Amino acid sequence: MNIVAGIDLGTQSLKAVLYDYEQKRIVAQASCPLDLISKEDGTREQKTEWYDAALKSVFEKLPCELRSQIQAVGVSGQQHGFVPLDKDGQALYNVKLWNDTSTAEECRILTDKAGGNAEVIKEVGNLMLPGFTAPKILWLKKHFPDGWKNVRYILLPHDYINYVLTGSYVMEAGDASGTALFNPAKRRWSRSLCSLIDEGLYDLLAPLIASDTKAGTVSQKAAGLLGIPEGIPVSSGGGDNMMGAIGTGTVSDGFLTMSMGTSGTLYGYSDKPIADPEHGLSGFCSSTGGWLPLLCTMNCTVATEQIRSLFGLPVAEFNRLAAAAEPGAQGVRVLPFFNGERTPNLPKGRASITGLTMTNSNKENICRAAMESAVFALKGGLDAFKKLGFEPKEIRLIGGGAKSPLWRQIAADIMNVPVSVPVSEEAAAMGAAVQALWCLEGGTPERIKSLCAEHIQLSKEKSAEPGNAVCEYEQAYRDYNEILGQLTPLYIHG
């Protein structure tokens, strides 16, 4: 067999797929759950030792005879997480994650030092948001100054897995552009923003490599640990959204990918740098050589899981109840800010259920409203894309939400765009595997497009077209935004 491996380090689990690129099929896959440290102040953290153990566990679950035939590896990882290591590669603190909102004060400090939002956007194409990496670095320096003095490597989660595999300290533009220390348009680190955190920070940042080049090769240590060949290439990898773009074929204009996982994201490929940070559209690079404007919300399946847990419902029963309610949930609205929120920028935001009356207060409506809320939150991204001239002919849906026929239809109706779903449910891991193949071939920017056309398949059975509920949802979306506008002052000052 001719096998490439794709690894995806997510918030809830670490997964790996083995893909036979001649037979065009996944021949094995495995996963391992990850824990989460959560605190009332918005802290969301994990530990590098959890990543190490999960990586080993996942590869041990894969057949030895297939592991031995792996020719290249690609890595996807949750974006923005801050992994500080000392000179020996040991973690100096927990990994602060993308959904950690405890750094709102650090964002304010850095924005003020930079001269305001406009100056930050000018320098890095984004606002300084709690989800990004830069405020996390300042947070560590402020709260653990002794640990900060020993920092030698500053990594993102996918870079950490690359480091474990190869011993190489490098970054690529896609994931780097989510740090708020990187200028996506110019594809270089921002010396001025680095200096606002620490005069020595710029020199600590990793060298940048091109998306189609390798981060390194599998070391003897990693080969022995995982049971894979020593010396095979490890591609540059990228953030989970960048790898999800490859895994859905969103590598050219015309398509948008919407990911409905713990977070919600909406992104599309562009041949030129595009950003609209004031409306939540971050200016990122892709991991294929172009750009990937992206909107991210911190609460997607979080909302449905919290409501499901509140009612003590199995997944199937939750879906049945939601399906029994009418589109628009009879006026019931959920604001799903269980983790605070990034878009809109409300780190102190809180979840709420509104619109309840004597006649519509039932589980069916609340369950459906929770599902609808996740898509309402992402529709603002679609509006921002359209203002920039994007007219998507299709949305490619991935993540846990893509598994639900009801959620697929809700997405098609609210967005009023046809929805399709890739055959592989592990789009980020699959994207990492295809990028690994691209690296193995020594490909060109055009080759990644043809590789996606060859290897990314869409499911005919899981597609959804906009239906009769489109008009109902246009009104419901207006209601959602009106409620959001009324409650936002509470979140800003709360």
Residues 251-272 pLDDT 10s = 987 789 999 988 899 999 988 8
Mean pLDDT of 216-244: 97
- 95 in Cβ contact with 46 (< 8 Å): yes
φ and ψ of 376, to 5 deg: -55, -45
pLDDT at position 494, please?
Answer: 47
Mean pLDDT of 462-482: 96
Q: Which residues of 416-437 are buried (b: 16+ CB within 10 A; e: fewer)?
A: ebebbbbebbbbbbbbbbbbbb
- 14 in Cβ contact with 32 (< 8 Å): yes
| Domain segments of the chain as ranges | 3-240
Going through 83-232 in order, the beta strands assigned E by DSSP cover 83-85, 95-96, 153-155, 171-172, 182-183, 188-189, 208-209, 214-217
Amino acid letter for position 51: Y
Hey, which residues does 397 pair with through a beta bridge?
258
Cis bond upstream, residue 344 (ω within 30): yes
Give, for 379, the enclosing helix (H) or strand (E).
Answer: helix 363-387
Q: How far apart, in Å, are the Cα atoms of 197 and each of 82, 109, 156?
A: 14, 10, 17
Closest CA to 283 of 106, 123, 112: 123
Amino acid letter for position 92: L
- 258 in Cβ contact with 398 (< 8 Å): yes
DSSP category for residue 139: H
Question: In whole numbers, what is the pLDDT of the chain averaged over residues?
Answer: 95
Residues 199-213 pLDDT 10s = 999 999 999 999 999
Q: List the CATH code of the domain at 3-240.
A: 3.30.420.40
- 41 in Cβ contact with 340 (< 8 Å): no
pLDDT at position 374, please?
Answer: 93
Which tokens go with 78?
């949750």
Q: Is the pLDDT of residue 443 over 80?
A: no
Residue with tokens 């911190």: 298
Residues 141-174 pLDDT 10s = 999 999 999 999 999 999 999 999 999 999 999 9
pLDDT at position 171, please?
Answer: 97
Which tokens go with 237?
């990898």
Q: How many CB atoms lie within 10 A of CB 337?
A: 26
Mean pLDDT of 17-42: 97
Closest CA to 492 of 340, 376, 300: 340
Hey, which residues does 447 pair with through a beta bridge?
none
Mean pLDDT of 74-82: 97
Amino acid letter for position 454: E
Three-state SS sequence of 43-66 = CEEECHHHHHHHHHHHHHHCCHHH
- 332 in Cβ contact with 366 (< 8 Å): yes
As annotated, the active-site residues are: 240
Residues 299-357 pLDDT 10s = 999 999 999 999 999 999 999 999 999 999 999 999 999 989 988 889 889 999 999 99
Residues 278-313 pLDDT 10s = 888 989 999 999 999 999 998 999 999 999 999 999
Closest CA to 172 of 105, 239, 264: 239
Please state, for a pLDDT cut of 70, what percent of the chain lies above it: 100
Which pairing describes strands 419-422 and 394-398: parallel, antiparallel, or unpaired?
parallel
